[in-house]
Amino acid sequence: MNQPVRLGVNIDHVATLRQARGEQYPSIIDAARCVLDSGADQITIHLREDRRHIQDFDVPAVQLVTQRYGVPLNLEIGVSQEILEVAINTKPQWVCIVPEKREERTTEGGLDFLSSEHFKKVQNFCLRLRQECPNTKISLFVEADPETLKKCIELKVDAVEIHTGEFAIDYNQGEKYTSHLQKYEQAHQQLLPAGIGFHAGHGLTDESLKILIEQGLFIEYNIGHWVICDSLFWGLEKSVKKLKEIINRGSL
């Protein structure tokens, strides 16, 4: 690999626990500090329209932590003008645009660029973001689909984050997963000439991460749910360090 592989840790589900009881704990600020002290390269948070976990006040608070540590804040947002205003006011280093439906348990797939109407919405969204936050990099959460990736190239974004959810499910259930790896290889080759960063995220565990690290395509991994679940038994510090060690060993 020509550049260091980054680990982004999504701390949304620390806020999920907090919001479940409306308490001040567990502290998302303490979680961000612990994650970064344990070797993570960036913090990822998703400000959803329904505010089921991260709240508006969390965004600048977490950004202060990332600034003190000198690492990026990766803010995931849907195509919502209300949420866009939060991003504009905060100006994080990265904004990852994701699809969002209020009834979903979690993000269920990539952005739909086969719909010209939705593509136009994302295009206008990116335009406004670039105008208001010229130093913020933009990534798009998408499937490893050739037609979708053509649209990403057309938008001239800084990176895509490939939805790895289906791969992760097949791996966890002992099903064949090589077809997913083939799609990732093809996607990487399609995006490489355009200089678009190749990120991965959704559903990954320590074990499924090893497979992607061995493939050696992605320069960034964003992992959240598994980290919080594993930390229930081993602690947040150990869970993050485990992922970082996997990345470091595979990058040698």
Compute the distance between CA of residue 197 and CA of residue 85 in angstroms, rounded to an integer. Answer: 25
Q: Look up 180 and say whether it is catalytic.
A: no
At position 159, the amino acid (one-letter code) is A
Q: At what angle do helices 58-69 and 81-90 cross, to 10 degrees?
A: 30
Please give the structure tokens belonging to residue 60. Answer: 């600048």
Q: Look up 202 and say whether it is catalytic.
A: yes
Please, is 215 exposed, middle or buried when counting C-beta atoms within 10 Å of its C-beta (0-12, 13-18, 19+)?
middle
Catalytic entry in 46, 53, 163, 199 = 46
Catalytic entry in 13, 53, 76, 199 = 76
Nearest alpha carbon to residue 220 among 129, 137, 100: 137
Cβ neighbours of residue 150 under 8 Å, at least 6 residues apart?
190
CB burial string 161-196: b at 16+ within 10 A, e below:
bbbbbbbbebbeeeeebeebbebbeebbebbeeeeb
* Cα 221 to Cα 9, 40, 41, 136, 200, distances in angstroms: 8, 10, 10, 19, 5
Compute the distance between CA of residue 169 and CA of residue 219 in angstroms, rounded to an integer. Answer: 22
Catalytic entry in 13, 163, 199, 202 = 202
Please, is 59 exposed, middle or buried when counting C-beta atoms within 10 Å of its C-beta (0-12, 13-18, 19+)?
buried
At position 53, the amino acid (one-letter code) is H
- Catalytic residue annotation: 46, 76, 202
